[in-house]
Amino acid sequence: MKNKYSVFSLIKNAFSHHENWQRAWGDPEPKKEYDAIIVGGGGHGLATAYYLAKKHKITNIAVLEKGWIGGGNTGRNTTIIRSNYLWDASAGLYDHALKIWEGLSQELNYNVMFSQRGVMNLAHNLQDVRDLKRRTHANRLNGIDAVWLNTNEVKKFCPIINTSQDIRYPVLGGTLQKRAGTARHDAVAWGYARGADALGVDIIQNCEVKGIKRNGKEVIGVETSKGFIKTKKIGVVAAGHSSVIANMAGLKLPLESKPLQALVSEPVKPVIDTVVMSNAVHAYVSQSDKGELVIGAGTDSYVSYTQKGSHNVVEETLRAILELYPIFSRMKMLRQWGGIVDICPDASPIISKTQIKGLYFNCGWGTGGFKATPGSGDLFAHTIANDEPHKLNAAFNINRFVSGDLVDEHGAAAVAH
C-alpha cells in the first residue's frame, strides 16, 4: 500500500529531513511467468501496465526496461501536449489523451505539472494559412478547441514574437489551442511507475529483451538479460527500437528510426508563457518552470540509433528562432541531446495486434508521442486485454499499410520528416 502524497505528508517528512519517504516503486527480480509482459519502461509502457492493472484487472504483469525507466524518449522530448490534429481518427486519439491529462495528477496522486498554457502554431506563407485554417475548422467539428489568430492577435498573445512583415518568413497568423500545454515528462514516467507498482506490477529495470520465443503462430515468452520469462501476451512499446524487437519476432514494420534533437538554454526569468511552434521555419519553443527555454529541432534525414543528431539541424532551428525572437540573440544554450524516433510513412502511430498471436505493438509515434502518453497506454491496454482494438485506435492498425487506409498527419505532426 502506497502512502498518499499530500501537503500533510510533506510537512510530516520535513520533520525527519525527508529521509523517510516510502520507496515509490520496487526493484523486484523477474518471476518465471507473467500474464502479460510490456517491453519498454517509458511513459507509454508504464501507462499501459497501469491501465492493464487498473481497468482490466490484469495485475500479474512485468514491465521490462533495458536501461532505467523514463530514460529514453520520455526524458528527451520537449513535453508539448496538444490534440489539434486534422483527421477524425487522430482527433479522437489525441483528444482522448488530452482529457486524461486534465485529471492525471489527481488520479495518480502524483504532480505531473500539467500546465494548460496554450499551444500556438504559426503560419508563414499563404499555404500555411490555408492549411492551418482548414485544420482549425476540422478541430472544431471534432469538438476540439481551436481558434485562428491574425498577426496582431499572435503578437498580443505572445509579445516577444517578431511580427515584422520584413523578415524572411513573416508571421501571417496562427492557430491557438488553449487546452494544450506542457507537463513534466519525468514525473509522468514516475507517476505511472508508482501507480502501476501499487497495483502489483513488477517494474524490472536493466533487463534487456534479447529474443521473442514463439511456438508457431503464437508467443510463449521472452529471452532477456535476466533469463527466460514465460508469457502469452507481449506488448512492445520500444519507440525507436521497435524494429529491433520486431526483427526478433520475424516481423517487419513500416518504420524508420531517426535522431530527433532538442536543446535547452540557461535559465532566465519568465519571458514566454505559452508554447509556440512553427512548421515552416521549423522552430518551436517554450519555457520550463526552471526558466530554461526548451527548443525542439528537426530530425536527421537518415536512419541512425546514435541519440546524437547533426549540427546543421540545430543551426537551422536556431536561425529560425533568432529571426522570430530577436530577444534571444544573446542566450546561451546549455545542453543538447537526441532521441531516436520511429517514424511511420503517414506520421501516425501503430497501436495494433500483429499476425502473431499474443504479440502487440504500440509504435510509430515518431516525433510526437509524449502528448499521447495516457491515451496511448489506455488504448493499448484495452487492445492487449481484449485482443481487439478499442474503437479509438481501430484506425491505427498495422493493416492500414496493406489496405491503403492511411491517416496522413504530416501537416499536424509539426516536425518535418
Partner 1 sequence: MFVINCPFCGERDQSEFSSGGEAHIIRPKQPTELSDDQWAEYLFMRKNIKGVQFERWNHAHGCRKWFNMIRDTSNDKIHAIYKMGEKPPIV
Tell me which residues touch partner 1 (CB under 8 A): 241, 243-244, 247, 252-257, 301-306, 308-312, 342, 345, 401-404
Looking at the Cβ atoms of 68 and 305, the one nearer to partner 1 is: 305
8 versus 302: smaller Cβ distance to partner 1: 302
Q: How far is the CB of 125 from partner 1 (least distance, A)?
A: 23
CB of 257 to partner 1, least distance (A): 6
Shortest spacing between CB 417 and partner 1, in angstroms: 12
3-state secondary structure 178-247: CCCEECCHHHHHHHHHHHHHHCCCEEECCCCEEEEEEECCEEEEEEECCEEEEECCEEECCHHHHHHHHH
Q: Grid coordinates representing 113?
A: 505539472
CB of 236 to partner 1, least distance (A): 14
**In whole angstroms, how close is the CB of 223 to partner 1 at the nearest point?**
17
Tally of CB atoms within 10 A around 163: 18
CA proximity to 233, closest of 247, 220, 248: 220
Beta strand segments in 77-217, E: 80-81, 119-123, 147-149, 173-177, 181-182, 202-204, 209-215
According to DSSP, the β-strands at 202-204 and 218-224 are unpaired
Strands 275-278, 36-39: pairing is unpaired
CA 173, CA 121: separation in Å to the nearest integer?
9
Closer residue to partner 1 (CB): 200 or 345:
345
How far from 213 is each of 38, 77, 222, 231, 232, CA to CA, in Å? Answer: 15, 32, 6, 10, 10
Can you read off the three cell numbers belonging to residue 178? 488553449
CB of 311 to partner 1, least distance (A): 6
Q: How many CB atoms lie within 10 A of CB 393?
A: 24
Question: Of 165 and 403, which has the nearer Cβ to partner 1?
Answer: 403
> Which of helix, strand or coil describes residue 7?
helix
Minimum gap (Å) between residue 224 Cβ and partner 1? 17
Q: Measured from the CB atom, is 388 or 405 closer to partner 1?
A: 405
- Phi/psi of residue 275, nearest 5 degrees: -110, 130
CA distances from residue 345 to 255, 282, 341 in whole angstroms, order as listed: 7, 20, 13
- In the complex with partner 1, which residue's Cβ is closer, 33 or 408? 408
Q: Are 253 and 350 in contact (CB under 8 A)?
A: yes
- Least distance (Å) between residue 247 CB and partner 1: 7
Decide whether 256 or 409 has the Cβ nearer to partner 1: 256
- Smaller CB separation from partner 1, 133 or 308: 308
Cβ 335 to partner 1 shortest distance, Å = 17
Q: 65 vs 256, which CB is nearer to partner 1?
A: 256
